[in-house]
């Protein structure tokens, strides 16, 4: 038995959230560019929640860039799919099955572009969401919006908006609220600037360009939820057996979710009424606070920890968190060193602590296979952008060496000890296993490790202002601390070095030893 409208009334309590029949009569209010699992696991999740609560009362038309993939699968299942929410919340294991009915239909931009443009004539259509993987938010100057379809997402969006302007004769009330969820900073502002520039490059009517700029709302947004996508084959089989139906579009997501949408407009808040259904999706005048929390506490902790964890022999984040020593390092780094550096007028200590506890639950999720080696991608760039500002902030507040940060930096230097391999790749070695270093500074570190003894590496790297934008060797005690921890790791092991640090932490700093 396959998931569809006709079987919903037969579902038992295994599915915690089932759409009522009335949902299928709701008008189409949202145009969504992308069928990816992040969109289905986060924005579509919130809209489904709101519809079931009788709040938003609108469904989604999904635009797919190609003819391949899930178009037929969605059609066969009346747009329905199961979302399996699994993970840890408030330190407790949780699992929930939701039948999501937010999607009305899926159209192919390649073969059904006329039907996509026809959606512009729908007076109920108010919102555009995107997460594009085809090209993304980039400007291609020769992209003709008269294409069938245009090549890039910004050009497709511009063509749709032009059609809407034409159909409603430039009615200022028929502009759209546009929310990109692509993982780039200021995604709404960047998309808006590209769309407007494309309008000029395509020599479109100045009256349309004025409508484009004044009647439409491009909102920056931040999304945060891990949505791995399809369940592993064995887990899929077990889930379908428990649910009593098959589902070609089933996805899994973690419990935690956040969607912060930036706009000061009261109209935007009114249009995005689905935000009333859940306090983890909201419209606010500034989303910088949420970006900072995620960047520093989640991403920054990952970056300080990944070298240590990988060189200690842990393959995944959950494996590391199950180890008492490594798990304590991750927790204490986040709570005691990173969190205090972001607290101030915008972020309270309570907010930082609450976010940190959520992150710890997420790291411990046994259903997420997040590999440390993947987190080391672009290691140097991540260290510079995510963590060096926190290191500098710590020294503004406290001249003691931040030991957890220094340990993470020591492991970073050891991880980046590499030699050339085939095809221009540089590789390191740990526990007899060779690993690829995917970092644009790999050649720099190869030359450094080849030319200097290990004891001199911390001073050379930390003093290199071309890497970090400042001379970090001037920070009191930092060079010595990193040297000390590198030697401790090499003389014993990662875990023994962490244990030794914990024993000495309350007694003295390394530069006092």
What is the tens place of the pLDDT at every residue in 277-334? Answer: 999 999 999 999 999 999 999 999 999 999 999 999 999 999 999 999 999 999 999 9
Distance CA 350, CA 135 (A): 40
Contact 91, 56 (CB under 8 A): no
Contact 153, 135 (CB under 8 A): yes
> Bridge partners of 86?
95
| Run means of pLDDT, 10 residues per run, the chain, 513 residues | 94 93 97 95 98 98 77 89 95 95 96 97 98 79 89 95 98 98 94 97 97 98 95 92 95 97 98 97 97 97 98 97 98 97 96 96 95 97 97 94 98 97 92 95 98 98 98 98 97 96 72 36
Quote the pLDDT of residue 144. 87
- In total, the chain counts a number of residues equal to 513
Determine how many CB atoms are found less than 10 A away from the CB of residue 346: 12
Structure confidence by residue, pLDDT tens digits, 337-351: 999 999 999 999 999
Quote the pLDDT of residue 505. 79
Distance CA 181, CA 7 (A): 33
Q: What are phi and psi of 377, to 5 degrees?
A: -55, 130
Distance CA 311, CA 429 (A): 9
Helix (H) or strand (E) holding 354: helix 349-363
Contact 373, 435 (CB under 8 A): yes
Contact 57, 337 (CB under 8 A): no
Contact 387, 116 (CB under 8 A): no
What domains are there in the chain, each with its CATH number? 5-284 (3.40.50.720), 289-512 (1.10.1040.10)
Contact 14, 242 (CB under 8 A): yes
217-218 and 59-64: which strand pairing? unpaired
Contact 212, 171 (CB under 8 A): no
- 246 Ramachandran zone, left/alpha/beta (phi>0; psi -120 to 50): beta
Determine how many CB atoms are found less than 10 A away from the CB of residue 388: 18
> Bridge partners of 428?
435
Look at residues 144, 125, 2 and name the one whose alpha carbon lies nearest to residue 73.
2
Per-residue b or e along 90-114, where b marks 16 or more CB atoms closer than 10 Å to that residue's CB: eeeeeeebbbbbbbbbbbbbeebbe
Quote the pLDDT of residue 511. 44
Q: What are phi and psi of 459, to 5 degrees?
A: -65, -40
3-state secondary structure of 261: strand
Quote the pLDDT of residue 67. 63
Contact 148, 113 (CB under 8 A): yes
């Amino acid at each position: 038995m396959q998931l569809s409208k006709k079987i919903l009334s037969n579902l038992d309590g295994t599915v915690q959230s089932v759409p009522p029949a009335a949902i299928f009569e709701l008008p189409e209010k949202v145009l969504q560019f992308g069928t990816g699992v992040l969109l289905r696991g986060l924005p579509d999740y919130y809209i489904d929640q709101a519809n079931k609560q009788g709040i938003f009362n609108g469904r989604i038309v999904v635009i797919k860039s190609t003819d391949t993939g899930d178009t037929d699968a969605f059609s066969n299942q009346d747009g329905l799919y199961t979302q399996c929410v699994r993970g840890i919340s408030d330190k407790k294991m949780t699992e929930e099955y939701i039948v999501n009915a937010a999607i009305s239909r899926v159209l192919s931009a390649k073969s059904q572009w006329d039907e996509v443009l026809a959606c512009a004539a729908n007076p109920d259509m108010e919102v555009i969401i995107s997460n594009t993987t085809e090209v993304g938010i980039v400007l291609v100057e020769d992209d003709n919006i008269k294409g069938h379809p245009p090549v890039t997402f910004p050009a497709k969006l511009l063509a749709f908006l032009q059609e809407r302007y034409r159909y409603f004769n430039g009615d200022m009330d028929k502009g759209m609220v546009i929310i990109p969820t692509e993982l780039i900073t200021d995604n709404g502002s960047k998309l808006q600037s590209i769309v407007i520039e494309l309008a000029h490059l395509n020599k479109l009517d100045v009256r349309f360009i004025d409508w484009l700029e004044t009647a439409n709302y491009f909102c920056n947004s931040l999304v945060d939820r891990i949505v791995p996508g399809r369940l592993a084959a064995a887990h899929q089989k077990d889930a379908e057996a428990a649910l009593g139906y098959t589902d070609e579009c089933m996805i899994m997501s973690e419990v935690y979710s956040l969607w912060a949408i930036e706009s000061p407009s009261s109209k935007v808040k009114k249009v995005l009424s689905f935000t009333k259904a859940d306090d983890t999706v909201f419209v606010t005048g500034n989303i910088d606070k949420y970006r900072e929390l995620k960047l520093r506490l989640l991403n920054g902790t990952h970056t300080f920890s990944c070298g240590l964890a990988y060189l200690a022999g842990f393959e995944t984040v959950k494996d590391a968190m199950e180890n008492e020593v490594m798990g304590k390092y991750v927790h204490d780094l986040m709570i005691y060193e990173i969190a205090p550096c972001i607290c101030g007028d915008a972020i309270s200590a309570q907010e930082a602590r609450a976010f940190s506890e959520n992150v710890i639950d997420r790291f411990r999720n046994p259903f997420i296979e997040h590999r440390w080696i993947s987190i080391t991608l672009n290691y140097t760039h991540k260290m510079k952008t995510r963590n060096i500002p926190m290191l500098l902030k710590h020294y503004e507040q406290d001249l003691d060496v931040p030991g957890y940060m220094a340990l993470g930096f020591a492991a970073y230097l050891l991880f980046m000890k590499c030699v050339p391999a085939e095809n221009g790749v540089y590789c390191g070695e740990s526990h007899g296993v060779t690993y690829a270093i995917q970092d644009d500074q790999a050649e720099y570190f190869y030359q450094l490790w080849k030319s200097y003894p290990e004891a001199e590496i911390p001073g050379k790297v930390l003093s290199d202002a071309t890497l970090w934008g400042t001379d970090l060797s001037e920070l009191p005690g930092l060079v010595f601390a990193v040297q000390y921890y590198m030697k401790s790791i090499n003389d014993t092991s990662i875990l023994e070095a962490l244990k030794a640090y914990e024993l000495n932490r309350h007694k003295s700093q390394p530069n006092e030893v």
